[in-house]
Amino acid sequence: MLAAMTEQQPTESRRTRAARRAGEFPPVPEPLPIPVIDSHTHLDITLAEAAAPPWNGRLDDPVAAAVSVAARVGVDRLVQVGVDVASSRWGAELARRQPAVLATVALHPNEAPRLTDLDEALREIESLAAEDRVRGIGETGMDFFRTGDEGRAAQEASFRAHIAIAKRYAKPLVIHDRDAHADVLRILDSEGAPETVVLHCFSGDAEFAAECVRRGYLLSFAGTVTFGNAAGLREAARVTPPDQILVETDAPYLTPMPHRGRPNASYLIPLTVRSLAETTGADLDELCAAISATGDRVFGPW
Ligand SMILES: [Zn+2]
């Protein structure tokens, strides 16, 4: 989470000012030649943490403003991802009234172990899963980075339940996998994977990517693919066919370079797509067209 921004004081030091600026949203980048989708965003969290978003002119409807600034640079469709019952309800409601937004619903793998009544929360998620503009079940999965041994059983039970919901409603499964590649595959195999599986914020190496590609899964690349220390991730992108690639912000987190550390939002997708084109040697127009078609195939129609 980003620290709350304080009002600028006339006496603030240069260093304080620099720190505050670092929390501001980056400038709007050059538009993409062909519109793409942001396959994974958290508009609710982004707006709650927004210090000085570039859509400040439309504070009457910040969601519509965030959607329109993204559309201006060629990010004209977004997938709003739920992490708990409240955010899943919020996303489903938003998708009903905002044509550019579709929703996915789930209990985040770090959220599930904290719930006093996991079954009741899962029933809520299942009732939202039935909605037409809810087009995926996620983010669910396994996270061994933030959840310790004591939470693992609940995390796995929740993941298994989400897999079952995705299959019952024939909707894509959006997976959060942090330091848990082998266990994610083990659980998918034991439950039987749904027809469409998306690995959100893909974080594996080329070998894991090749295994996911072989299984027909979609790999969604986030701003992390632009980071200097992400050579393994770029190798993973190179072994992924264009029709299994998605891009995402995971906003407000994982802001692409050169703005790493600042808040993220869907209008920054062009930085990730350009970097991905450079990494894979793909023609930018062709990559955009492929991402757009894959997004429609997986989540669409909008
Ligand atoms: Zn996320």
- The Å distance, Cα 224 to ligand 1 centre, comes to 13
pLDDT higher than 80, residue 8: no
- The Å distance, Cα 146 to ligand 1 centre, comes to 14
Per-residue tokens: 253: 């987190």
pLDDT higher than 80, residue 68: yes
Residues 156-174 have a mean pLDDT of 98
| Gap between the Cα atoms of 156 and 121, Å rounded | 15
Coil, helix or strand for 70? helix
Residues 133-158 have a mean pLDDT of 94
Per-residue tokens: 87: 């955010």
- The Å distance, Cα 9 to ligand 1 centre, comes to 34
Q: Quick one: pLDDT at residue 200?
A: 97
- The Å distance, Cα 40 to ligand 1 centre, comes to 6
pLDDT higher than 60, residue 126: yes
Q: Quick one: pLDDT at residue 48?
A: 83
Q: What is the pLDDT of residues 235-284, one digit of tens each?
A: 999 999 999 999 999 999 999 999 998 899 999 999 999 999 999 999 99
Listing DSSP states for 108-155 in one string gives -TTTGGG-S-HHHHHHHHHHHHTSTTEEEEEEEEEETTTS-GGGHHHH
Decide which of 30 and 47 is more confident: 30
pLDDT higher than 80, residue 171: yes
- Write the Ramachandran bin of 197: left for phi over 0, alpha for psi from -120 to 50, otherwise beta: beta
| Gap between the Cα atoms of 255 and 177, Å rounded | 19
What DSSP element (H or E) covers 16?
helix 14-22
- The Å distance, Cα 39 to ligand 1 centre, comes to 10
pLDDT higher than 50, residue 199: yes
The number of beta carbons lying within 10 Å of the beta carbon of residue 71 is: 17
Confidence category of residue 228, pLDDT binned at 50, 70, 90: very high
pLDDT higher than 70, residue 7: no
- The Å distance, Cα 15 to ligand 1 centre, comes to 31
Residues contacting 158, CB < 8 A, separation 6+: 107, 109, 112, 113, 118, 122, 140
Confidence category of residue 173, pLDDT binned at 50, 70, 90: very high
- pTM tops 0.85: yes
Per-residue tokens: 144: 């061994």
- The Å distance, Cα 110 to ligand 1 centre, comes to 11
